[in-house]
Structure formats: C-alpha cells, structure tokens
Amino acid sequence: MNEAILNIEIQEFINSNLNSEITKLLFKGSPFQQVSIQDITEQIESKNKCKNKLPTWFNTPNIYFPNKLNIEQTSSEVTANYKSSLVSGETLLDLTGGFGVDCFYFAKQVENVIHCDWNQELSAIVEHNFKILGVHNIKTQPSNGIEYMSLQVKPVDWIYIDPSRRHDSKGKVFFLSDCEPNVPEHLNLIFKHSNQVLIKTSPLLDLKAGLDELTYVKEIHCVAVENDMKELLWVLEKHYSGTIQVKTINLSTKGNQVFNFNLNELENLAPVFSEPKAYLYEPNAALLKSGAFSLISTKLGVEKLHRNSHLYTSDHLVNSFPGRTFRIQKAIPYTKNNLKNLQLEKANITTRNFPETVESIRKKHKIKDGGETYLFFTTLENGTKIVLDCTKTVND
C-alpha cells in the first residue's frame, strides 16, 4: 500500500482522469515521483469499476482501491445490504474478508465484526477505508481466517464465509470442496466456534450439490439483481433438522420480487400444461435458479407451455408473478410467411426451448432490436414451434 497515492494532488489527478484512456496515460508516464503510472492507472481502473457496484466507495474522497480483480470478486452494495438483513447479535467473524463490503454492511446489524484476510496489503487497505468511511466496530485481522478462528476461545454469534473457487478446478460444474477455504472439510471446526453460519457461493453451484456437501442447512437464498442471478446464500444452524426454506429474491429499482417455499414442496409435483392463453409469464433469474418450475403452477395458478421452456400462461392476470408479465396479442405457428404478416421492422426477441438463436432469427427475418413488441419463440408441449406476439403489461 503506497500511501503517497492519498496525497491531495495525486487524488485530484486520479479523479480528473477517470474518463481518460489508460493506454495514453501509460504512454505519458507518471507526473509524480512518489507513484508510478501503473499504480495510478490501477487506482483509476478499480475506482471506475466501483461507480455502479460500490457507489459509497466511489463517491467517498480518499478511498484507496486495490487491484481491479478484488473489486470484481467483491459483493455489490445491493447484495451486501441484503446479506446483512440475515444476521444479528454481538459478534460476526468474516473468514474471507476481501475488500470488506460485506463487513461494512454486517457492521450495521452486528455490534462487532472481525474481518480476516491473508493478504496483508489488502487488509491494510480495508482498514484505511473503514476509517475513511467512519466505521469503528470492525477489527481487521491480516491472517488466514480458518487459522485465526481455530485459535479463538470465545464463540461468536455468526461466522461468514465467501469461499473462492481454486484456479486449478476445471469445468463449469464445481463443488464447495473445490473452493478455498474448503468449507465441508472445516465445517465441524466452524460449528465449534459458532452455532450460526452464513455462506455465500457462486450461482453456478448446483443446489443439490451444495446440500450434499453441507449439514444443518436451514435456508437457501437465491439472490438476483435486476434479473441477473448474483449469488446463493446458505444459512446453517447447528443441529437444525427442520424443513429447509428456499427464498428467492430479485432486487430491483422497480420493486423487489419475492417467492418463498419449503424445499419439500417440490416433491412429487407434476407440471400442468396449457396452450397459450391471455397472459405470458417469464420467471426471474432467482426463481429459475431455485428449480421450483412445477410449484409456480400450483402456488400462482399459471400453467406451463412446455416442460423445458419455463414459460407460463393464464387467462387472468397474476399481478404477483415474480418475473416479467406480458399480454399475448397473437400466438402463431412459426413460419416465414406468418412472421412476414406481422409486418415488424423491430421487436424485442426472446427464445425459450427453440432450435434457433435470437441472432439467426433477426438475420433471417430482418427484424431489428427494440420497440414495444415482444416476440417469444418457443415450443409447446405437443412439439409445435410457435411465436408469441406480446406487449408488456402495465404493472411490469
């Protein structure tokens, strides 16, 4: 951590060059003897990555930014704030502190937070930033979180873990045992130091795989932001043996969408199919991740178009549906002439369980992106390829 970066003239240079081309700055070199141009451009790149993801850090003067990889790996403020609503008590121990965004929000709900990170420079950066942000109930500990925890005698109310996937793990399918720290391996030790554990994992983790590796799972939270699936949260409680609650939430500036259920509600459910009716529903990313495809029909009174499409329909509008809702204007078989008769120069196109891509459809039928029309290309349960000509509902 080069503290010279915090000098007033260097901070002014960084802020005045947030929109400058990095290659041009690198070519010119550093105008300051104490700081290299590489260090300056690293601050610029990292700060720019915080503009939308971490506005508190971006808008606060004298924040020191780590390399951009640390920013990419950290939680957003939106998801960190949601996580903080799940914890309370006197002490929380974060075994994998990182840039400290989660800790910042945990500190609003818990009296004392301990931030552990093996990277001593990152730990020093985080400690500096907490002081600048006026947070005084977080202790930074530059050490391996598991090792630090194992030396503690006094238990804590919560332990938080955000394991990172090891670089040598391959393929899109992975397990918690592929991550660092290896949570399943250390779970017995973790429960010796706290009765309550919160684990953040990538949305790529399969729910069944997570349940197979973990014990005492009480809740699973599927968290999306603006319909982009961001993270899975696993709430563990020592000796818990009750029903597992699955909570899906799409955090949005238009209003949060929530759909909750018990995991055992998914057992022995058969989907209900239908031809397109008056309305079309597309579940949000969090709900899709939960796998509650048949339960949606049962709970919300909507029917599926096909077992693999995850599109739903109904005669009457379901205002509470957690996703996008459309009014179906026409449902037509997929042919070149039928599309031509729609006389559309542009439309928003979505494909679900359909053999062609959006790009190929646009090219073949010369339809530009945009407009008020939404075309869904999909397959019905009887195998018919259709196009649904839709408009958004007023409440969407």
Here the CATH number for the domain that contains residue 126 is 3.40.50.150
Per-residue pLDDT of the chain (396 residues; tens, 9 = 90+): 888 999 999 999 999 999 999 999 999 888 998 899 999 999 999 999 999 999 999 999 999 999 999 999 999 999 999 999 999 999 999 999 999 999 999 999 999 999 999 999 999 999 999 999 999 999 999 999 999 999 988 999 999 999 987 655 555 557 899 899 999 999 999 999 999 999 999 999 999 999 999 999 999 999 999 999 999 999 999 999 999 999 999 999 989 999 999 999 998 888 889 999 999 999 999 999 999 999 999 899 999 999 998 999 999 999 889 999 999 999 999 999 999 998 899 999 999 999 999 999 999 999 999 999 999 999 999 999 999 999 998 655
Q: Give the pLDDT confidence score for residue 168 in this predicted structure.
A: 54
The answer as to whether 180 is a domain residue is: yes
The answer as to whether 270 is a domain residue is: no
Distance CA(276)–CA(327), nearest Å, equals 11
Q: Give the pLDDT confidence score for residue 113 in this predicted structure.
A: 98
| Residues 65, 127 within the same domain | no
Which DSSP symbol is given to 368? B
DSSP H stretches of helix in the chain: 8-16, 22-28, 37-53, 55-59, 68-73, 77-84, 101-106, 120-132, 145-150, 183-193, 207-213, 285-290, 293-300, 336-341, 358-365
| Residues 44, 81 within the same domain | no
Range of the domain at 131: 75-242
| Residues 288, 226 within the same domain | no
| Residues 37, 85 within the same domain | no
The answer as to whether 267 is a domain residue is: no
The answer as to whether 380 is a domain residue is: yes
The answer as to whether 254 is a domain residue is: no
**What is the value of pTM for the model shown?**
0.92
| Residues 167, 185 within the same domain | yes
- 386: closest CA among 360, 355, 348? 355
| Residues 33, 82 within the same domain | no
Distance CA(125)–CA(98), nearest Å, equals 10
For the chain, what is the domain count?
A: 3
- 54: closest CA among 74, 33, 31, 25? 74
Q: Give the pLDDT confidence score for residue 270 in this predicted structure.
A: 83
The answer as to whether 204 is a domain residue is: yes
Give the end of a domain, one of 22, 51, 71.
71
Distance CA(300)–CA(313), nearest Å, equals 11
| Residues 83, 57 within the same domain | no
Query: How far separated are the first and last CA of the chain, in Å rounded?
Result: 47
Q: Give the pLDDT confidence score for residue 349 in this predicted structure.
A: 96
The answer as to whether 334 is a domain residue is: yes
| Residues 189, 117 within the same domain | yes
| Residues 157, 194 within the same domain | yes
Q: What CATH number did the domain enclosing 16 receive? A: 1.10.10
| Residues 373, 295 within the same domain | yes
Which two tokens mark 370?
């945009």
Q: Give the pLDDT confidence score for residue 380 in this predicted structure.
A: 95
| Residues 384, 287 within the same domain | yes
Q: Give the pLDDT confidence score for residue 172 in this predicted structure.
A: 52
Give the end of a domain, one of 224, 242, 260.
242
Give the end of a domain, one of 54, 71, 88.
71
The answer as to whether 257 is a domain residue is: no
- 240: closest CA among 213, 221, 214, 261? 214
| Residues 55, 162 within the same domain | no
Distance CA(123)–CA(1), nearest Å, equals 10
Give the CA distances from residue 38 to residues 44, 50, 99, 213, in Å, rounded to whole numbers and listed in that order: 10, 19, 20, 43
Contact 76, 55 (CB under 8 A): no
The CA radius of gyration of the chain, in Å to the nearest whole number, is 25
Distance CA(291)–CA(293), nearest Å, equals 5
